[in-house]
Amino acid sequence: MLAFARRVVVSICCFVSMGGVSLAADMPPATQGQTVYVPVYSEVLYGNADSSGKAERWQLSATLSIRNTDPANALTVRSIRYYDTDGKLIREYAAGNKIGPFGTLEVFVEHKDKSGGSGANFLLVWDADKPINAPIIETVHTYFFGTRSVVFTSSGQALHVDGR
């Protein structure tokens, strides 16, 4: 029994030393707003290149998910802009959406929408009345047809833009 207890203690120590436990000191600071860049893979290249050197393209749908992680305070989405691979603005989505504590806002891009390309992205601006936990902002990419399916996510990255 003592040998078992030692193995458990060693396992826990290894787990902690490998970063398996996050301490309060590791928490990101509260913030009152951000500008966030979120990659969108509305299509991915796959397979082998053809005789002209071009790979096949697989269209994906993408859901932008904005999740308020603050248990007590709302945030407001000031703008959501969708850009293509060349950085050209494709469209803007409605602004001023409030997301309550632990609430979520989603924006959907259909798989048949080819306007974004493989390097599309969202640029999102949000703010709050006072500093709050930063939201989780990511895209979920999906393709489900017949026996083929693909699902993966891309995380947003806060940028230093316009003083944010």
Question: Which CATH code fits 32-47+56-159?
Answer: 2.60.40
Determine phi and psi for 117, rounding to 5 degrees: 80, -175
Per-residue pLDDT reduced to its tens digit, 43-90? 888 888 888 988 888 899 999 999 999 999 999 999 999 999 999 999
Domain ranges for the chain, please list them: 32-47+56-159
Give the predicted TM-score (pTM) of the model: 0.79
Give CA angle at 31 (126, 89), nearest 5°: 25
Stated as kind and residue range, the H or E segment containing 14 is helix 2-17
In whole angstroms, how large is the CA radius of gyration of the chain? 20
pLDDT of 49 reads 87
**pLDDT 10s digits, 102-150:** 999 999 999 999 999 999 999 999 999 999 999 999 999 999 988 888 8
- How far apart, in whole angstroms, are the C-alpha atoms of residue 66 and residue 46? 29
- The sign of the dihedral angle between the CA atoms of 95, 97, 102, 107 is negative
